Amino acid sequence: MRISRRRIRRSGYTHSSPDQVLYKQLQDNLTRIKTDFGQSDDLVVNCFEWTANPSLSYACIYIDTLVDKDTVNHLSEELMKLKRSPEQETDNLFILMRRQFSSIRDLKTGVKFIDLYAELLSGNTVFLADGNTEYLSIPTENKDSRAIEEPSSQTVIRGPKEGFSERINTNILLVRKRIRSHHVKLENLTVGNLTRTAVSLMYIENIAKDTIVREIRRRIKEIETASILEGSYIEELIKDDKYSIFPEFLSTEKPDTVTAALLEGKVAIFVDGSPYALTAPAVFVEFLHSSEDFYHNFIVSSMVRLLRFIALFLTLLTPSAYIAITTFHQEIIPTPLLISIAAQREGVPFPTLIEAFLMETTFEVLREAGVRMPRAIGSAISIVGALVLGQAAVEAGIISAVMVIIVSMTAIYSFTVPNYEMSNAVRIIRFIFMVLAGVLGLYGVFMGLIILTLHLCKLKSIGIPYLMPLAPWIKNENKDSLLRFPLWSLKYRPFGIRGEDKRKTAQTSMKKGG
């Protein structure tokens, strides 16, 4: 015991030596718990004498702020009624308690302090009985949380409008109820020495590739950190290319997106406290897909997808192309247009690069302000943004009208990218391209593009090449990348990601040999 006490002091926040088991005496246990929790005022330790045999006592321990008080009260009442059963003359209070509560689901027992603390901290109520080295944990968790609402970052017109919330169990429920199959597997992990955050892996047996599941599990288990507050912590810690700006996990607020990913053989990662789920491995084209693509006609969806890819390119390249062309390559603009642009730029005192930087930065500031500011003053920002920075700046001759058009086009294009992380990445890279354009013209932009493609080709998500169906080019796998082919032609799950169960369509619904 002395040794273990010394260990407690040394190990700081890790409570106690992990294998320390409960003592026989109730008072010893209570002292230990109180010492470990220190001066925490919300720790409630109630000690009772058993009405049937006052020489035996029991304790009810919970953390006041985490539990649902009605449930706890109810439990206490139940315990008061506990009597020595006439048929079984046992004095073992613990066994009696367990029998009393046997109708409650999720009843847990254990012997270690570390497990006991985990139970307490997840909002459960723990009962200890005198003379027994086991504890009994009863779920009394306070389940208050945000209701299931429409996702705020990924909106759709057609399709389910449910979004994840902050409670991990609710999120898992939302996915589970969409795939009613016993092949859906769930693994619970705990990450973060201090936060002990619940992290769940979900995948479909046989459809997900074993090696990928194992790799993700291994990487998450190897995480050495004190805290996990959001899924992005996990992504940043287990990403393949840690310095890359591009997201390698697809984060989504929509349960139907996660479901679709699971059905392609991907693994979903849920993190408690975050309304975003991650799916991996993720490939580049996926970041431009929306779940809605599958809810509309395939021709419409294909065109919309193409539009998004074009918009991604344009949001990346419009300002830099404008800078390059007006600074170095005026000859490739048709003459009438050139004259009109030149006329507008006549009174502007800045070179195009500076002008573009001013405007793009202003726009980024507006955007950031729009996210951060209190909702009530939103209209003020839009008036300032639209009138002062747009119209007034042009009329004052500080910037040209074309530049305002270019910036607003860039902004609107960037909003078509369905994934926020991807659009952020493109936002940043755009500025590098603007500098390249200002220094080296179209040649600079183009060499920048070459380096960008090289970088994208290098990236991997859990060992899967980032540009997967495009490079490496895989025959017949591009039906769901740039375009969206009709459902009946998508017979196989994505190559490289899928496990043993390759077919998407059931054998009977096949056109040939069905």
Partner 1 sequence: MQRTKITNHQLYSLTANGAFGGSVIVIASAMAAIAKQDAWISALLTPVIGMPVVWIYWYLGSQYPGSTFVEIIKKIFGRWIGTIAAASYVFLCLTIAYHLPWYVGNFVTTEAMPETPPYVINLMFVIAVVIAVLYGIETIARASELYIRFVLILSVLTMLLVSPNIKFENLQPVLENGMIPIFKGSYVLSCFIVFPIITMMMIYPANTDNISEAKKSIFKGFLWAGFITFITILMSTLILGSKITASSQYPTYLLAKEINLGIIFTRLEFIVAITWFVTQFMIGLLFFYAGVTGLSQLLGLKDYKRIVMPLGLITLVMSGVVFPDVIYQANWTKHVWLPYITTHGLILPLLLFLVHLIKKRMLKARY
Residues that bind partner 1 (CB under 8 A): 328-329, 331-332, 334, 336, 439-444, 446-447, 450-451, 453-455, 457-458, 465, 467, 470-473, 475
Neighbour count for residue 427 (Cβ, 10 Å) = 20
CB of 34 or CB of 455, closer to partner 1: 455
CB of 334 or CB of 513, closer to partner 1: 334
Indicate the SS3 state at residue 304.
Answer: helix
Cβ atoms of 45 and 27 within 8 Å: the answer is no
Indicate the SS3 state at residue 294.
Answer: helix
Indicate the SS3 state at residue 325.
Answer: helix
CB of 183 or CB of 329, closer to partner 1: 329
Indicate the SS3 state at residue 208.
Answer: strand
CB of 369 or CB of 457, closer to partner 1: 457
DSSP annotation of 38: T
Cβ atoms of 493 and 483 within 8 Å: the answer is no
**Angle, helix 298-327 to helix 352-372, in steps of 10 degrees:** 140
CB of 415 or CB of 473, closer to partner 1: 473
50 conformational bin, left if phi > 0, alpha if psi -120 to 50, beta if neither: beta
- The Cα 446–Cα 312 span in angstroms is 16
Q: Give the shortest CB-334-to-partner 1 separation in angstroms.
A: 6
Q: Give the shortest CB-473-to-partner 1 separation in angstroms.
A: 5
Helix, strand, coil share of the chain (percent; to 5): 50, 15, 40
Question: For the chain, give me the number of helices (H) and strands (E)?
Answer: 16, 12
Q: Give the shortest CB-440-to-partner 1 separation in angstroms.
A: 6
Q: Give the shortest CB-427-to-partner 1 separation in angstroms.
A: 22
CB of 249 or CB of 328, closer to partner 1: 328
Q: Give the shortest CB-353-to-partner 1 separation in angstroms.
A: 15
Task: Give bridge partners of residue 198 from the DSSP assignment.
Answer: 190
CB of 2 or CB of 475, closer to partner 1: 475
Q: Give the shortest CB-329-to-partner 1 separation in angstroms.
A: 6
Q: Give the shortest CB-335-to-partner 1 separation in angstroms.
A: 9
106-122 as b/e, with b when 16 or more CB fall inside 10 Å?
eeeebebbebbbbbbeb
